[in-house]
A and B are shown apart, each in its own frame.
Chain A
Amino acid sequence: MSAAGPLPGSPVDAPVLSPFERQLVAATQGGLPLVPQPYEAVGALLGVPAREVQDALASLLARGVIRRIGAVPNHYRLGYVANGMTVWDVDDARVDELGERIAQLPGVTHCYRRRRALPDWPYNLFVMLHGRSRVEVERQALTVRDLLGDACRDRAILYSTQLLKKTGVRLPGGGQPKE
């Protein structure tokens, strides 16, 4: 086991949320209510007018604490039944340049550099590929391989065979999942 650790430059245990914002996160991390005036409904829970909820959400969006307000599809149900976590052992000197380019390819949803776990795990580049079939994912993986060229020493594809849980992020004490 190793420490989760913050990314370079990110705060460590920083209390960057106001008490009201923490309440707002807790009230909305399970989702927004599906009623005509959802911000008013959240405000009613927290004892404030809708305007304060809207302003606080706008501030959290501007600060990047909220990526976006959106709908998260279950990939499988959209027909993206092949879900491949591809992992690559890429030359450290070139991984950032290549990672940026791979991230732009169609079908790529996540692209990260991660610390190797030697000797068992030589891979430092993780590229999530989604397709409607494994054939499609294999084709996407070939594109990645061609792009990496001789900067890549080894690779593997780990297909998901079962979705065991998908609730999105929930902070403890922030309400229970609906599922």
Chain B
Amino acid sequence: MNAFDVHTHSDRIDAALIDHLHEGFPLSDRPFAEIGAALDLGEEEVIDRLQKLLATGVLSRFGPLYQIERAGGAYLLAALQVPAGRFDEVAAQVNAHVEVAHNYRRGHRLNMWFVVAGESPSAVDRCVAAIEAETGLPVHCFVREREYRVELRLRALAPEPT
């Protein structure tokens, strides 16, 4: 997977667009036109660029970011210790659950880490139980007690690491 290259003119515009969208998306009738006006781009161009960024996977999504706990929902960070020979099979079993929002392979004895999001704590528990039943592996649950920060704003235009 190639990192996109902020040194090209077109990618710099994309990066500026991504960074600008961190400031929020307007609830107006023509929000893409409004975003474009701030960046000196046309409405069509903003839409075209976002379509391309989604299609090429630079953006994983665009839209409302729900904090479902505020609506009675629940999140859980969980991990599995998957035998090496079964990794792909277990990844497919875990990923098949719509409640699994993301999943990473990590270099550790616990080698698969995923987040389960459900519309209620009991829905999360049911998903965890289903994963245990399907994989035959114990799911390790890392219950969150306090959140100090959730911040998805890594800047696309940051020139150099600090």
Contact = CB atoms under 8 A, between A and B. Distances in A.
A7 interface: yes
Interface string A75-117: 1111111010100000000001001101110101111111101
Interface string A12-54: 1111110001000100111110111111100000000010001
A160 B102 CA distance: 12
Interface string A129-152: 011110010000000000000000
Interface residues of B, number: 98
Contacts of A3: 121, 125, 143
A: interface residue count bin: 35 or more
A67 B67 contact: yes
Q: Which of A117, A156, A158 has the most CB of B within 10 A?
A: A158
Given A13-B122, A69-B24, A1 B149 contact: no
Among B60, B116, B147, B162, which residue has the most Cβ atoms of chain A within 10 A?
B60
B140 A67 contact: no
Nearest to A13: B120
Interface in B64-86: 64-77
B38 interface: no
A65 B132 contact: no
A171 B118 contact: yes
B62 A71 contact: yes
A172 interface: yes
B37 interface: no
B74 A1 contact: no
Interface in B7-53: 15, 17-18, 21-22, 24-25, 27-33, 43, 47, 50-51, 53
Given A39-B29, A158-B107, A168 B142 contact: no
A15 B66 CA distance: 16
Given A6-B74, A71-B62, A159 B107 contact: yes
Contact of B143 (A5, A29, A110, A161): A5
A-B residue pairs, 6 tightest by C-beta: A103-B149, A4-B124, A69-B25, A162-B105, A103-B148, A164-B103
